[in-house]
Structures are given as C-alpha cells and as structure tokens.
Amino acid sequence: MALQRLTFRLRQTVTHVRSLHTSGCTQQQEAVAVESQPEPFSVFRTQENDPGCQTEKHIGQHYTLPSAHINTLFPHGLPWRFKQRVKTFNEACMMVRQPALEVISYLKKTDFSKPALRYLFYGPKGTGKTMSLCHTVHFCYTQGWLVLHVPDAHLWVKNCKELLPSSYNSSRFDQPLQAAEWLRNFRITSEQFLSKIKTKQRYVWTKRESTEEGSPLGQLVDQGISRVKCSSDVVGAVMKELRLQSGQPESNFHLAVAVDGVNALWGRSTIMKQDKSAMDPGELTLVYNLRKLMQNDWIGGAIITALSQTGSLYTPKSVYLPQELLGERGFDYMDPFIPASVSNYSEKEFESCCLYYMDRHWLQHPQSQTEEGKKEIIFLSNRNPRMLERICAFL
C-alpha cells in the first residue's frame, strides 16, 4: 500500500518533470528557431559591426564596415589595395586584430580632462599598421568624435608640384595643392561638426578677405578650398582652432588626430628649394602645424599614429622600430607614447583570412583550398598580411 502510494507520488513528480521538460524544450526550440534564421554561423565573420562592442573573442574575425561610414569617414584614408578589394567584393570587411582592440580599449577609458595620449602602431612591413589605424578611426567615428585624419604624411614631404613661400611667415613654405586636397577630404569627414564649431579668432587672408570671429568652421574650410593660395594657412588655422577648443566645457566634441606615416614629419624630404638646397620638413607649413598638433599640450582627445617605412625617404628597408624610423628628434618629440606592436598573422588569423577568401571565391586554384596548398601559402608568405594578399591575388 505504502509502496503504491510512493509510486503514485513518484509518478506524479515524474509527469510533472516530464511536462516541465517538454515545455522547456518547446520554448528552447522556438527560441532557437527565432535566432537561427537571420544569422548563419561562420567562424571568420562576426556580426558585431560596432568597434566599440568588439572584444577579444572577436579576434581573427572579419566585421563589415557599413558603406555609408566608408564614404563619409574614409574618402582618402584606406590603403589602395584595400579599396580595390572593397570594390571587388562589394563589401568592406576588416579583420579584428589584437593591437587595434588594445588601443580601442584605452581610448574607451580616456580621461578627457587630461592631456591627449599618443598611441603609436609600429611593426615590420606589411603587417597591418595602417589597417589598425583605420579600425581605431572607425571606432572614434562611431563614438561621435571629430576625426582629423592625415592618411599619409609622406605625401606632404615629397613630389611637391607647387611650392610657395608662406605669406604668414617668410621662412616657411606653402603647399597649396596638398593642403586644398586635404581640406576637401576633411570637409567630407566632418560634415556634422563644421556648422557647430565656431572660430575664436579673426583671420585675415588678404587685404580684402578675412574670416570673422565666431564664424563656423565650415566657412573657414570653404575659404581654404576656394582660395587655394592660402589653403596651407587655413589648414594651420583649422588645426589651431580644433586644438584650442577640444576639451573645453562649452564645446561638446572630442578630437581624434590620426596620422599615418608619422615618421615623415621628422625625416628628410626630397623637396628642394630654389637654390637646390635640401628642405627640412619643419620649414613646410603643413608639417609645422601638424607637429604642433602632435604635442600633448591639449586636452579632450587622443592622438593615434602609425609608422610607415614603405613611403619613407632615405630609410633602409629593414628598419621598423620607432627609435630608428622616427629618428632622435622625432622620438624626443613623441616621447612619451603608448606603443602598439603589429605583427604577422597568427595561425587563427591566417585561417580566418583564408576562409574569408574562399567564401568570397577569391581562391580559384583547386590546390589552394587543400591542406597542402595552405602550407605552401604559409611558407611563401610567412603569414605576412600583405604578402598573403599579393599571393592570393593570382591564385
């Protein structure tokens, strides 16, 4: 009798449990059905497109840059080969890598009342310094910062078609073409801020033209673009305004200065003066003003830079460390900075890159998809991102 009651009670509990279990199951199934439909699971891709939300577990995975962001943020910032790739694949996918994530995590914790911190990406050739810089710039943009992006400082110290003596300071030289181009790109990048920021000073360009105090920054920029002759001074004025105003309580923007190829500012230039003597980069207005921005004497933002040996002048191919590339002057100027070392792909990152190429049907050769082929590619490229990309380009 007691046994029967026991079994009955057990049976009840069992049925209870069973019903609970089944209901739980159905709930789970529904949830799974809801989740699995929109997102196919892939090892090399992540749906987390916001750089601010990316964590360590996204390392090695590709995230997509929205095309709207690319048009506004990177009119001139992305490397040439990456732009070709974007055009071919019809999507801009960048790999999440550890150095960029590190710098982004520091940027998230910046104290805007303290002077701006300087971050420097360095590493051997072709390891992805420029791409890491672009990644951090994208992060700053999504956070609503004002980005001042100089895609390659080397372009300002070589191949100068027009060189004018500066009207502001007779010992310096102007580069109207480069300055005007940069201003045009800057206008695209910072559309939303141009009307909000007002100048704090009156600028006189010629006898008849001047920009009054309190006029929007957009007007200043337009002035530089239309009057090409004074564009370098306009650039200097813009930089000065932004430097003074960022971090002030009344201005509600944060400034991110991103410079690629920072070693050009303290290196040598191939531009020659009229009497065929070599020009020091410090004598160029653009470089001079940019150097002032590199100083950490302003608050309310951050300075993110990357070294580059590829476009640099008079540096041997094997150097990549900051001390060697920046030189003594540059290193003293930039010191102290937070270095971020960028190296070749790890195994996981390499696999992810290969999977991405296969997904995009970029690797057409049948052997490139086998294990043997992968080993050959590893050997030939030594997991260097640039080499890998070049080799896969004809596979």
Partner 1 sequence: TALPCNSYECSLSKCIKNNSIALSAVSASLRDICVSCALHRKNLAAAGPEKFTVEFIQKQAEEFNIGKRHLANMMGEDPESFTQEDIDRSIAYLFPSGLFDKKARPLMKHPEEIFPKQRAIQWGADRRPFHFLFYTGKQMYYSVMHCQKMSHQKHTSPFQYSLRMLTRVSISSLGTSRWFTKEELEALLVETISTHDYNHFIQLMERLLSLPYCATEVEFVLRYRRQLEAPSAKRIVPLLQRDEWGVAFSTSDGCRKTSNCSVVLRECGSGCITINGQNYLHYFPTLQDREQLMFPFQFTGMLGRFDLECTVSGGGRSSQAGALRLATSRALLSFLSEREAENMRQAGLLTPDPRVRERKKPGQEGARRKFTWNKR
Binding site for partner 1 (CB under 8 A): 124, 317-318, 372, 375-376, 378-382, 384, 387, 391
CB of 134 to partner 1, least distance (A): 24
In the complex with partner 1, the residue whose CB is nearer, 314 or 379, is 379
In the complex with partner 1, the residue whose CB is nearer, 124 or 327, is 124
In the complex with partner 1, the residue whose CB is nearer, 41 or 379, is 379
Query: Which residue is associated with the tokens 């792909």?
Result: 345
CB of 317 to partner 1, least distance (A): 7
Burial, 346: exposed, middle or buried (Cβ in 10 Å; 0-12, 13-18, 19+)?
A: middle
- Residue 268 · residue 83 · CB < 8 Å: no
CB of 385 to partner 1, least distance (A): 12
In the complex with partner 1, the residue whose CB is nearer, 193 or 345, is 345
State the first-to-last Cα distance of the chain, in angstroms, to the nearest integer.
80
Long-range Cβ contact pairs of 200-206 (< 8 A, separation 24 or more): 200/241, 200/244, 200/245, 201/241, 203/233, 203/237, 205/230, 205/233, 206/230
Element (H, E) at 60: none
In the complex with partner 1, the residue whose CB is nearer, 177 or 391, is 391
CB of 380 to partner 1, least distance (A): 5
In the complex with partner 1, the residue whose CB is nearer, 155 or 353, is 353
Tell which residue, 343, 309, 342, has the closest CA to residue 326: 309
**Strand residue runs (E) in the chain:** 62-65, 92-95, 117-122, 146-150, 164-165, 173-174, 203-204, 210-211, 255-260, 301-306, 338-341
In the complex with partner 1, the residue whose CB is nearer, 52 or 373, is 373
- Residue 94 · residue 208 · CB < 8 Å: no
CB of 390 to partner 1, least distance (A): 8
Query: Which residue is associated with the tokens 């004018």?
Result: 164
In the complex with partner 1, the residue whose CB is nearer, 22 or 370, is 370
CB of 384 to partner 1, least distance (A): 6
CB of 131 to partner 1, least distance (A): 18
CA angle 158, 126, 330 (to 5 degrees): 50
CB of 379 to partner 1, least distance (A): 5
- Residue 96 · residue 54 · CB < 8 Å: yes
Beta-bridge mates of residue 120 = 305, 339
- Is residue 65 helix, strand or coil? strand
In the complex with partner 1, the residue whose CB is nearer, 42 or 343, is 343
| Distance (Å, whole) CA 345 – CA 20 | 49
CB of 210 to partner 1, least distance (A): 53
- If you ran DSSP here, which 8-state letter would residue 250 be given? S
